[in-house]
Amino acid sequence: LARGANVDFDVVSNPEFLKEGAAIADFMKPDRVVVGTDNPRTAELLKALYDPFTRSHQRMIVMDLRSAELTKYAANAMLATKISFMNELANLAERVGADIEKVRSGIGSDPRIGYSFIYPGIGYGGSCFPKDVKALARSARDAGQESRLLAAVEAVNDAQKRVLFGKIRRHFDGELAGKSIAVWGLAFKPNTDDMREAPSRVLMEALWAAGATVRAYDPVAMDEARRIYGARKDLLLCKSAGHALEGADALAICTEWQEFRSPDFVKLKAPLKAPVVFAGRNLYEPALMASQGIRYYGIGRGERQSA
């Protein structure tokens, strides 16, 4: 109005649901398109905008602004909750002698549960889940409601990021000073170089605090690791997965990159001072590792299976 213009406009909440590493595919073929608006005319405009991407199936869901904003936070918080719940079960499975991978198959076969986001590991990271869980919990507090479940999701995830270090420390009877640990995978998940709140960072920093050195490799996150940590004597950024193994006392796997899934186990063992693998993403079967003469520590798989 100060410019002497009278432009008709509307405000729309149109949250994105793009996964890192698959953003273009998610945009071109969306599972759903959420539009928050109270104006039917604006909803029709957005429908026309998205029609080229939703022609095979109408995926637009129109709702009010506040519901659209809450939908975004609720979706990521729900997925984070599934991850933390599965990690709680994994820790219980180790205590009672169960195999969490068999439990995962058993519960995932129930269509009400499904297999998505029930893979045990060493916690979630990245920009979306940690941020959105915190944001939703803060919104609840601002509205006068304490979200005990979201607080537990965060607490479980924070603790899970230290599980792999705990296994390494116990294996070496707490004597980590002077040890060299190979770390495969630095990004918080495959197909990205994002190391924000990555479990690998918690592991490496705990190893350094205990006096160990790290030989790290990631297919794409090496520059990001250099940016974060710079040059330090207790970190060697290696040119390949094999290079990271050379002279290491053990291998720890933090990210389930495809190139780590089917290694030559003879070549994996040879450069290590001792054949020990700590798998934060359960990439290998304990029985196979035992047959290869490798001491194997997974998540929720019962350490005694491969001892």
Question: Other CB atoms closer than 10 Å to residue 10's CB: what's the count?
Answer: 12
The residue from 86, 122, 128, 176 that is catalytic is 128
Annotated catalytic residue 254? no
Active-site positions read 128
